[in-house]
Amino acid sequence: MDNRRVKAILRGMEHEFDVVIAGGGLNGPALALALADAGLGVAVVDARPADLRASDAFDGRAYALALASQRLLAALGLWGGLAAQAQPINQVRASQGHAGEGAGHFHLHFDSAEIEEGRLGYMLEDRFLYRALLGAMALPRAGRILHRAGTVVVSQTTDARGVSVGLNDGTVLRARLLVGADGRGSGVATRAGIKRRGHSYGQIALVAALDHELPHNGIAQQLFLPSGPLAILPLPGNRSSIVWSETEDHARAILALPDEAFLDVLRPRFGDFLGAISLAGPRFSYPLGMTLADHYAAERVALIGDAAHGVHPIAGQGSTSDCAMWRLWPRCWFWPIVAARISARWRSCADTSNGGAAMRRCSLTAWIR
């Protein structure tokens, strides 16, 4: 049969899965791997073509990973291949400051030597983390994972048996549960009738990577300036990532500057404690605001990540709070939080009497029926 006819037939077919995940950022693939390890069939619908995000090129985008996030990656079997690319955070210093004056005399200081884990967290570049997730979805366990890169969910219809998920190429995926991991403007949430509330912080985050003359020694700096915080986060080598929050009008004016003029504005705020600085990659900007879904679950639908709650990135709250939804891993993963309204099994599963025996017996499969 002609390949074009085969593809046309497949586009009109229904595929049966336990879970369809809309969103291929970080939360979607991570959840897919956990579900596959639990024996469930999963489809990940990823809007961006895989090769665009699996590039080896350095672009400066990085994540601050709390220990909970690092443990999650270890539980998924990914940390062994990522540890060499991660920069440990040995200390955190937070203080007030003013442009041209540097950090104030009074500050908070956190030292990894004071905790048993030996690290306060890690910095990890997006290119390494996404490539690891992509590679893991292609391993043998991926026999339970279908990764649909370059496609988006455009419709969803629920019934007593499950949910039908329509893609922009005409394919219909059939599943017992649809998970929205599709960001702050979640289409999954909108189609499920889940409303949102939130507000703008009146700030824009300017994000870039810098090369600097002196070593950072694994110290993360947080300067609270009058117009917004400036985070200086260590990357491998003499390189750091900055997240610089400014008022919207001021941020737009700074963004419009050429690179050297951008650095001229940054230097009085950054200080000279790392010596001479220069840009190591492109600059990015992100409007800052809080957005919260009124509900994390609806009929045959659950939300995770920014689709459920989007917060200020200060102190790495984004990925850290996402992982907090998953603290019950590896016993019940995140279902007690997002699926309480999906299954009546919540009460028996969440029962912590008898030393939590009911919780330990809870399995993912019990939720997806």
Tens digits of residue pLDDT in 170-193: 999 999 999 999 999 999 999 999
Cβ contact 27:326 at 8 Å: no
Top-level CATH class of 86-123+201-289? alpha beta
CA distance 290 to 281: 28
Q: What is the 3-state secondary structure (H, E, C) of 9-45?
A: HHHCCEEEEEEEEECCCCHHHHHHHHHHHCCCCEEEE
Whole-prediction pTM: 0.81
pLDDT, mean of residues 35-63: 82
**Model pLDDT, residue 16:** 87
Cβ contact 235:209 at 8 Å: yes
With CA atoms as reference, report the closest residue to 315 among 65, 46, 31: 65
Percentage of the chain modeled with pLDDT above 90:
61
CA distance 204 to 245: 6
Where are the CATH 3.30.9.10 domain residues in the chain? 86-123+201-289
Cβ contact 76:300 at 8 Å: no
Contacts of 264 (CB under 8 A, 6+ apart): none
Residue 366 in this model has a pLDDT that exceeds 80: no
For residue 291, how many other CB atoms are within 10 A of its CB?
19
For residue 116, how many other CB atoms are within 10 A of its CB?
5
Where are the CATH 3.50.50.60 domain residues in the chain? 3-60+128-197+290-348
Tens digits of residue pLDDT in 116-160: 888 999 999 988 998 999 999 988 765 689 999 999 999 999 998
Tens digits of residue pLDDT in 246-256: 999 999 999 99
Residues paired with 97 in a beta bridge: 103
- Pick among 3.40.50.1000, 3.30.230.70, 3.50.50.60, 3.30.70.141: CATH of 3-60+128-197+290-348: 3.50.50.60
In a 3-state reduction of DSSP, which class is residue 309? strand
For residue 26, how many other CB atoms are within 10 A of its CB?
20
